[in-house]
Structure 1
Amino acid sequence: MTDTEASLRAAVARAGRPSSDYDLNPEIRLPDGRTLRDASVLIAVVDHEASPGLILTKRSSRLKHHPGQIAFPGGKVEDVDTDASAAALREAHEEIGLPSSSVRVLGTLPPHETVTGFMVTPVVSLILPGFEPVPEAGEVAEVFEVPLAHVLDPANYRIQYRRWRGERRYYFTVPWGPYYIWGATARMLRALADRMSDDADRG
């Protein structure tokens, strides 16, 4: 087991609370009894010997929802999926051509509620170097890797805001190069970064 795998396994094994798009906006009151749709995303770490990377996608500008945004491979949990991990693997194969046989699932993070009405389970996984992504042209404009060390460093995160329904909505960002990583993607990465940081502090 590599150091990267050991650290990720320890991080996902720690107890933690769910996250949401509203974490930085505690004044927002969510309605009781709201219905959320299950979804999952694949936090896919490529275990390069020198510097592990994290696979992210840039969504197609032609999509109706979140065009051009940076996202994990993933999507809705469908009836054919046995669990969140199966959904994340299926979506990653459809979106970037990642075969499930090349993925080692390490565990999941607590679910994340999005402003668009989804309860998203982040599935943390490890991939051996050598994978060549094949973007699904209708959904994915680009597949790229960001250094894992960059997104695991809490110091690289910033809090910004936009107007949403007439009020300020605050959210995390963790830009890297030309890529503006923000919103739910950044919040889930921040949750992983906090867990990894806690493990380092305990070591």
Structure 2
Amino acid sequence: MSRPRILDPRAVPVVGVDAHLPPVPAARLRAAALRQHFAAQPVWQPEFTGDGRPFSGREPAHAAVLVPLVQRPATGDDDGLHVLLTRRTEHLRDHAGQISFPGGRSEPEDGSPEATALREAEEEVGLARHEVEVIGRLPTYTTVTSFVVTPVIALVRAPYTVALDSFEVAEAFEVPLAWLMNPAHHRRHLFTHEEEARQFLSMPWPGVGPDGQPREYFIWGATAAMLRNLYRFLSA
């Protein structure tokens, strides 16, 4: 039996907000601290390993995403690190219109998840490899579309090059890392269909669109789950 798709995640009921969990301390959200934390590899466990039972009829495929942490000057409550995210175009077969990290399927010539993530980031958003400092990776995450995804964490110094692949990427934007690493912004949704029930996270970011107008960027699903795993890692 095929698994039902979540067509409108915004319409799925919110069953909780994780404001009871502490945010990652600001001192851990600086470039030097992040390098040190990944080098030390503390003992921890990812909270999410995948979406659950995948859609039927698909063979697992390896993939990687780049989690670019953009270094900008600190101002006020902003520690200066921002996560670069993309909004996928509406016509794509998988995850159309969703918020995601730059990334995609691994190719035999890549040789490593890091190589895949760097290649895909360069192809999708024009992020040149010499602008990227890879500092570590998180455990794999298996999506409902049967991709086994390795999140590769990297530092990017601003300003950086942006050249969007208009076929795959509708928009690129940044969200402060401190905002994403505060579980008060993490909402839990419960999706039910017949006898099946599953939960997912969302992190709706109140940003500004390309037109300069306020816009909500609905971060959810695999992207939100990998960000939550990053939260667990940085909290360890």
2:34 counterpart residue number: 8
What is the CA distance between 1:36 and its match in structure 2? 2.4
Stretches of structure 1 lacking an aligned partner (at least 5 in a row): 199-203
What is the CA distance between 1:191 and its match in structure 2? 0.7
SS of corresponding position for 1:46:
strand
1:201 counterpart residue number: none
SS of corresponding position for 1:176:
strand
2:66 counterpart residue number: 42
Amino acid at match of 1:4: R
What is the CA distance between 1:161 and its match in structure 2? 2.7
What is the CA distance between 1:196 and its match in structure 2? 1.7
Shift in CA distance, 137/55, structure 1 to aligned 2, threshold 3 Å: same
Q: TM-score, normalised by structure 2?
A: 0.74
- For residues 142-189 of structure 1, give each alpha carbon's deviation from its aligned partner in whole angstroms, at most 9, with x where no partner exists: 000011111111221111133467622210111101100000000000
Tell me whether 1:74 sits opposite 2:98 in the alignment. Answer: no
Tell me whether 1:108 sits opposite 2:146 in the alignment. Answer: no
Structure 1 distance, partners of 2:150, 2:193, is 24
What is the CA distance between 1:41 and its match in structure 2? 0.4
1:194 counterpart residue number: 232
Amino acid at match of 2:67: I
Structure 1 distance, partners of 2:191, 2:118, is 32
- For residues 76-99 of structure 1, give each alpha carbon's deviation from its aligned partner in whole angstroms, at most 9, with x where no partner exists: 110110100000000000000001
Q: TM-score, normalised by structure 1?
A: 0.85
Mapping for residues 1-203 of structure 1, pairs under 5 Å: 4-12=30-38, 13-17=41-45, 19-22=48-51, 36-50=60-74, 51-163=80-192, 167-177=196-206, 178-198=216-236
Structure 1 distance, partners of 2:233, 2:44, is 8
Structure 1 distance, partners of 2:99, 2:194, is 23
What is the CA distance between 1:3 and its match in structure 2? 6.5
- For residues 62-112 of structure 1, give each alpha carbon's deviation from its aligned partner in whole angstroms, at most 9, with x where no partner exists: 112111000000001101101000000000000000011110000111111
Structure 2 distance, partners of 1:165, 1:45, is 40
- Number of aligned pairs? 189
Stretches of structure 2 lacking an aligned partner (at least 5 in a row): 1-27, 75-79, 207-215
